[in-house]
């Protein structure tokens, strides 16, 4: 099973969505899990994980996911080439280092170079930035590249983003 997480913030609430699927190339068969929680704290530059990590962990605890092979997050695993943890690194650590984490980011983080892979999907000239922990970053990039969709962002990750922003 592959899990992808995203969180969106409304006023004092955080809405976290997880889509669970079994096949990298299939966007049709997936399950959606969601949770609305209080925001854990104010945003702090370089400390984003303090806001989002509790949301992801709460949703993971609330549901019984079996045989998790990978987790995809909207963001970075590392924040620099010295392997300073970003959200993905902290999630990997919180899960005991047992599940590979793939970070998919839409904007570049200039302090990281060697632990990041750029991919172009579809006809887009703007890359996605892939980071990973628990697996080779080139393999992580290959998996995201093969996800269904003709656009920059894989269809399932785009759907995930839309679901987080719906107010219900």
Per-residue pLDDT, 47: 59
Quick check: 128 and 152 in contact, CB under 8 A? yes
Whole-number average pLDDT of the chain: 90
| Residue range 123-167, pLDDT digits in tens | 889 999 999 999 999 999 999 999 998 899 999 999 999 999 987
Please tell me the CATH code under which domain 2-165 is placed.
3.30.2170.10
Please report, for residues 9, 40, 76, 163, the alpha-carbon distance to residue 167 in angstroms, rounded to integers and kept in the order given.
10, 19, 26, 9
Which class for 49: exposed (0-12), middle (13-18), buried (19 or more C-beta within 10 A)?
A: buried
| Residue range 74-91, pLDDT digits in tens | 999 999 999 999 999 999
Per-residue pLDDT, 1: 94
pTM: 0.93
Chain mean position to CA 113: 19
């Amino acid at each position: 099973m592959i899990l992808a997480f995203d969180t969106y913030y409304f006023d004092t609430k955080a809405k976290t969505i997880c889509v669970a699927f079994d096949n990298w190339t299939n966007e049709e068969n997936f399950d959606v899990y969601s949770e609305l929680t209080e925001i854990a704290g104010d945003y702090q530059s370089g400390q984003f994980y303090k806001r989002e990590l509790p949301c992801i962990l709460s949703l993971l605890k609330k549901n019984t996911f079996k045989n998790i092979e990978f987790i995809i997050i909207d963001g970075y695993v590392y924040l620099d080439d010295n392997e300073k943890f970003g959200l993905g690194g902290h999630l990997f650590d919180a899960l005991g280092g047992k599940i590979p984490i793939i970070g998919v980011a839409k904007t570049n983080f200039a302090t990281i170079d060697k632990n990041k892979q750029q991919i172009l999907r579809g006809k887009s000239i703007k890359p996605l930035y892939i980071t990973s922990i628990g697996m080779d970053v080139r393999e992580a990039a290959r998996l995201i590249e093969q996800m269904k969709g003709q656009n920059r962002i894989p269809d399932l990750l785009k759907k995930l983003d839309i679901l987080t922003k719906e107010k219900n």
